[in-house]
Structure 1
Amino acid sequence: MNCSAWARRLGRLLLPLLLAVSASASAGSTAEFDDLVARLQFAFFTGDSRALEETLTELGNFDVEPSLAAIKSYQLAYGDWKLAQLLGERAQAKSSASKAAKLCVQHARDAITKDPRMAEIYAIEAACDTYQPGSPKQGSTACTRSKSMRTALTLGAENPRVLFINALCSPDAEGDPAAIERWRAVVAKFEAAPPSQPGKPDWGHAEALTLLGESYLKRGEMVAARDVLERALVLAPDYRQAQKLLQTAANRPR
Structure 2
Amino acid sequence: MNCSAWLRRLLLLLGLAAVSAGAQSTAEFDDAVARLQFAFYTGDSRALEEVLGELAEFEADAGLIAAKSYQLAYGNWKLAELLGNPQGERARSSSKTTAGKAAKSCVQHAREAISKDSRIADIYAIEAVCDTFSPGPARNGSSACTRSKSMRTALTLGADNPRVQFIQALCIPDVEGDPAALDRWRKVVARFEAAPPSQPGKPDWGHAEALLMLGQSYVKRGEMVAARDVLERALVLAPDYREAQKLLQTAANRPK
- TM-score scaled by structure 2? 0.95
Determine which structure has more spread, i.e. the larger CA radius of gyration. 1
CA distance in 2, matches of 1:117, 1:248: 41
Residue 171 (structure 1) shift: 1.6
Name the SS for the 2:227 alignment partner: helix
Query: What do the CA deviations read for 1:65-115 (whole angstroms, capped 9, x no partner)?
Result: 101100110000000000000000134200100000000000000000000
Residue 7 (structure 1) shift: 4.7
CA distance in 1, matches of 2:207, 2:117: 24
In structure 1, what is the equivalent of residue 30 of structure 2?
Answer: 34
CA distance in 2, matches of 1:233, 1:123: 25
Unaligned runs of 5+ in 1: none
In structure 1, what is the equivalent of residue 198 of structure 2?
Answer: 196
In structure 1, what is the equivalent of residue 182 of structure 2?
Answer: 180
Q: How many residues align?
A: 250
Q: Is the 8 A contact 1:91 1:134 kept in 2?
A: no
Residue 16 (structure 1) shift: 2.1
In structure 1, what is the equivalent of residue 171 of structure 2?
Answer: 169
Residue 135 (structure 1) shift: 4.4
CA distance in 1, matches of 2:138, 2:245: 20
Corresponding residue to 1:12 among 8, 14, 22: 8
**Residues 127-138 of structure 1 aligned to structure 2 (within 5 Å):** 127-138=129-140
In structure 2, what is the equivalent of residue 248 of structure 1?
Answer: 250
In structure 1, what is the equivalent of residue 88 of structure 2?
Answer: none
Name the SS for the 2:119 alignment partner: coil
Query: What do the CA deviations read for 1:216-243 (whole angstroms, capped 9, x no partner)?
Result: 1111111111110010001000000000
Alignment-mate amino acid for residue 244 of structure 1 = K
CA RMSD, aligned part only? 1.2
Residue 138 (structure 1) shift: 2.8
In structure 2, what is the equivalent of residue 125 of structure 1?
Answer: 127
Q: Is the 8 A contact 2:121 2:164 kept in 1?
A: yes
Residue 188 (structure 1) shift: 0.1
In structure 1, what is the equivalent of residue 112 of structure 2?
Answer: 110
Alignment-mate amino acid for residue 246 of structure 2 = K
Alignment-mate amino acid for residue 47 of structure 2 = A
Alignment-mate amino acid for residue 107 of structure 1 = H
Alignment-mate amino acid for residue 243 of structure 2 = Q
